[in-house]
Amino acid sequence: MASIGLINYATFMGTMIGIYGILALGLNVQWGVTGLFNAGIAGFFAVGAYLSALLTAPPSPERIMGWELPVLVGWLGAMAGAALIAWPIGRVCLRFRSDYLAIATIGVAEVIRLVLRTEETLSGGARGITGVPRPFGGLEYSLSQFAYFALVIAVLLMVYWALERQLTAPWGRMMKAIRDNEQAAAAMGKDVERRRLESFVLGAAIMGLAGALYVHFMRAITPEAIDPMIATFLVWIMLILGGSGNNRGAILGAVIIWLIWSMSEFITDQLPADVATQAKYVRVFLIGLMLQLILRFRPEGLLPEESVQRTSHLAPPRS
Amino acid sequence: MNKTRASILTLALAGALATAPAWAQNVKVAYLVGITGPIAGMAPTMVQSMKFAAEQVNAQGGIGNGGKIDPQVYDSGCNPQLATDAATKAVNVNGVIGMVGPSCSGPVIAVANSVTVPAGVLLITSSGTSPKISTLDDKDLVFRTVASDDYQGRALARTLKARGTDKVAVTYLNNDYGLGLAEAFSDEFKKLGGTVTASRAHEDKKASYRSDLAELAKGGADTLVVFAYGNSSGLTIVRQALENGFFKNFVGADGMRDENMIKTLGAENLKTFLVSAPAGATGAGFEKFSKDFKAAGGDPNGTFAATSYDAAFLMALAIEKAGGDKAKLSQALREVATAPGEPILPGEWTKAKQLIAEGKDIDYKGAAGDHEFDANGDVPGDYILYKVSGNTFAEIERMK
């Protein structure tokens, strides 16, 4: 009993880590590789989650859609939807320098959140969408959770593999060139604005996929889930801690932060009952403290970017 | 990945060993409350009243033969990601057999869907008011001691109609509280043959609602139903409607039952003002809870204090009735909470324990109501209609 319980807990954490890992990978494309300061991760996460829910959930009289399509269609729809939303935003906002882009994307994410919260016919409003199917959801608790965990990890590995290929290809080096010196890249004939838009849209699509994976895991979505603290800033901390510019770093950051976030509660529970309630805040403090320490002593993250070593054996791009 | 999994397991194991029970007879119950996050202000009282219930149970004989309720407090953060994580820990690592909470409706839905219902754990929330919770596919494992937003709106509509009002305009604060009430109210009012001439959402904290009021008044109704808070937009709306003579009668729900309204506007101006509020704060159950909880240093009028107490106490009763068998908990909960049976008031654990031991049926009459659960595990909610009298609110009738 106890060991099954631990496995259940581990698979739950593994699934959440997988979902956050994908979010961090999406952010890594935008920030780590291209230098786009997207502070509106929650917005794209929400678009993916709600769209996939609407495509696959049963219909309900109070809102639109509910088409009961296969889950895979929901996932692809989530990616396409997040990309479609990102495109016009990118067209407008990517002309801003980094900190202005951050402000603009926070604004966009808040707009998305408020629209989803208030537009009852679109999203179920404050009550959200329930009855979203989970693949293997019919199985017994542990099995169903484990099967979904395996699925999420498979998706995570696929995304990782695809991004690794994309980033070691000339496209990836071009993006880094744009990030490091925009004028030089432009002088080399690169269409800076278009390339940045590509990266922004790709990252957003990956975030949308993470949203879709999340909604099918929880079988429901409500506006509380797209709180910026949980869906934006936690992801940023993961990427910065793990090492921006490095896909493995992004995943490692997700693993470490989620473990600390989740397991620190066991430690704070050991404190006397009088302070145990207040001690719940220690988790928030710990995460902040770690970020401070990392930025102070290891600003490049635990697994720094390694583009030079990994691509130096390849011939320089011809263009 | 293997290494990661191994380290996850090691860490989890360490956590589990550290929290291993003192003795096996104790029964672990999770209290999952939004300690951090948007309702952090209400959480301390909720935790305190839940723990107070557990203390009373333990002081009066505990569970079964010398066992104790062992409360495990977790943080739900009022957020589904954190709540499901905490619930997974509670159920799988700490091995709780029942869960009181989580706070907020979104986390209730997520936790029920992905953790407690698949794992067969009984969940009683004391603060999730969304109507969506009623319709969950929950294998009879999700209950609540707080009424769905739906009920109050419907009860108010029936009462108003019965009192002879046929035409109203509705304005509501644009959040899930206001929206839920307004929808249920309008739906029921129309079903009964009444007319809602206009229904408009409004945003909080505006300086003037005169243009909203002018629009609302166009339909010719002389009664305005306001679903908002009496220390905020509700106050401004009623004041401006009075000043400009847009409406004659005003009706509100529990958010408007705020003595600040009377202080600011004056009782003589509020003769036509009616409000509904949950009856919990009047019954014998509440009086007993109020006295005991005050003596223990708590605030019985705190938001969700009474419902949280009831949820924790009902959980203990159900555990006692089921003999600690997780699979029988939901059936046992229905038996101890609903009529018929010997009435049990808050804190009467010794009496309840004895009756259960004798095999007699009991019926818990809680601090926040009688908790006669319906098929969805919802409580119907007991509401009272109040009018302004002097500097306070006086009961007119019980609403059905």
pLDDT in tens, A1-14: 468 888 999 999 99
Tally Cβ neighbours within 10 Å of residue B400.
10
Cα–Cα nearest to B87, from B52, B51, B123, B55: B123
Indicate if B116 and B159 belong to the same structural domain: no
What's the pLDDT tens digit per position in A207-258? 999 999 999 999 999 888 888 888 998 999 999 999 988 999 999 999 999 9
Q: Which residues of chain A lie closer than 8 angstroms to B175, CB-CB? A: 126
Mutate to test the interface with B, among A9, A45, A214 (most CBs of B within 10 A): A9
Interface of A with B in 91-120 (CB under 8 A): 118, 120
Indicate if B98 and B216 belong to the same structural domain: no
Task: Tell whether omega for the bond before B102 is within 30 degrees of 0, i.e. cis.
Answer: yes
Residue B369 lies in a domain: no
More confident residue, B180 or A80: A80
What's the pLDDT tens digit per position in A147-160? 999 999 999 999 99
What pLDDT shows up at residue B392? 81
CA dist B373 to A267, B124, B258, B320, B330, Å? Answer: 37, 11, 29, 19, 11
CA dist B357 to B345, B349, B351, B360, B361, Å? Answer: 18, 12, 10, 8, 10
Q: Within chain B, where are the H helices?
A: 2-18, 43-59, 80-88, 105-111, 117-119, 149-162, 176-191, 210-217, 233-244, 259-265, 284-295, 305-322, 329-337, 349-357
Residue B135 lies in a domain: yes
Indicate if B201 and B335 belong to the same structural domain: no
Q: Are B302 and B42 in contact (CB under 8 A)?
A: yes
Q: Which residue has the tokens 């609110």?
A: B393
CA distance A115 to chain B (A): 12
Coil/strand/helix, residue A73: helix
Residue B251 lies in a domain: yes
Q: Which residue of A has its CA nearest to B20?
A: A2
Q: Do B19 and A224 make contact, defined as CB atoms within 8 angstroms?
A: no
CA distance A127 to chain B (A): 7
* Cα distance between residue B312 and residue A98, in whole Å: 50
Indicate if B96 and B61 belong to the same structural domain: yes
| DSSP character at residue B280 | G
Residue B371 lies in a domain: no
Residue A188 predicted with pLDDT over 60: yes
Looking at chain A, the whole-number percentage of residues with pLDDT higher than 90 is: 48
CA distance B81 to chain A (A): 7
What is the CATH number for B48? 3.40.50.2300
Paired sense of beta strands B392-399 and B383-389, if any: antiparallel
Indicate if B43 and B106 belong to the same structural domain: yes
Indicate if B269 and B251 belong to the same structural domain: yes
Q: Which residue of B has its CA nearest to A62?
A: B183
* Cα distance between residue B384 and residue B275, in whole Å: 8
Q: Do B92 and A13 make contact, defined as CB atoms within 8 angstroms?
A: no
**Least CB-CB distance to A9: which of B1, B73, B89?**
B89
What pLDDT shows up at residue A161? 96
Residue B131 lies in a domain: yes
Joined tokens for residue A135: 């693949």
Q: Do B88 and A9 make contact, defined as CB atoms within 8 angstroms?
A: yes
Indicate if B231 and B313 belong to the same structural domain: no
Indicate if B386 and B267 belong to the same structural domain: yes
Indicate if B199 and B121 belong to the same structural domain: no
* Cα distance between residue B241 and residue B365, in whole Å: 41
**Least CB-CB distance to B79: which of A227, A266, A283?**
A227
Interface of B with A in 84-123 (CB under 8 A): 84-86, 88-89, 91-93, 95, 104-107, 109-110, 113-115, 118-120
Indicate if B175 and B142 belong to the same structural domain: no
Residue B8 lies in a domain: no
Q: Do A225 and B110 make contact, defined as CB atoms within 8 angstroms?
A: yes
Bridge partners (DSSP) listed for residue B226: B171, B252
- The pLDDT of A45-58, averaged and rounded, is 94
Q: Do A145 and B118 make contact, defined as CB atoms within 8 angstroms?
A: yes
Indicate if B341 and B313 belong to the same structural domain: yes
The count of structural domains within chain B is: 2
Q: Which domain holds residue B194?
A: 150-278+382-399
pLDDT (tens digit, 0 to 9) for every residue of chain B, 400 residues total? 455 555 555 554 444 444 443 334 789 999 999 888 777 778 888 899 999 999 999 999 889 888 899 998 999 888 899 999 999 999 998 889 999 989 888 899 999 998 999 999 999 999 888 888 888 888 899 999 988 878 888 999 999 999 989 999 999 987 777 888 898 899 999 999 999 999 988 887 788 999 999 999 988 898 999 998 887 888 999 999 999 999 999 999 877 887 788 888 988 889 899 988 776 656 788 889 989 999 999 888 777 888 899 999 999 999 999 988 888 999 999 999 988 888 999 999 999 999 999 989 999 988 888 888 988 888 887 788 888 888 888 888 887 7
Q: Which residues of chain B lie closer than 8 angstroms to A263, CB-CB? A: 11-12, 15
Residue B205 lies in a domain: yes
Indicate if B167 and B192 belong to the same structural domain: yes
- B4 contacts chain A (CB < 8 A): yes
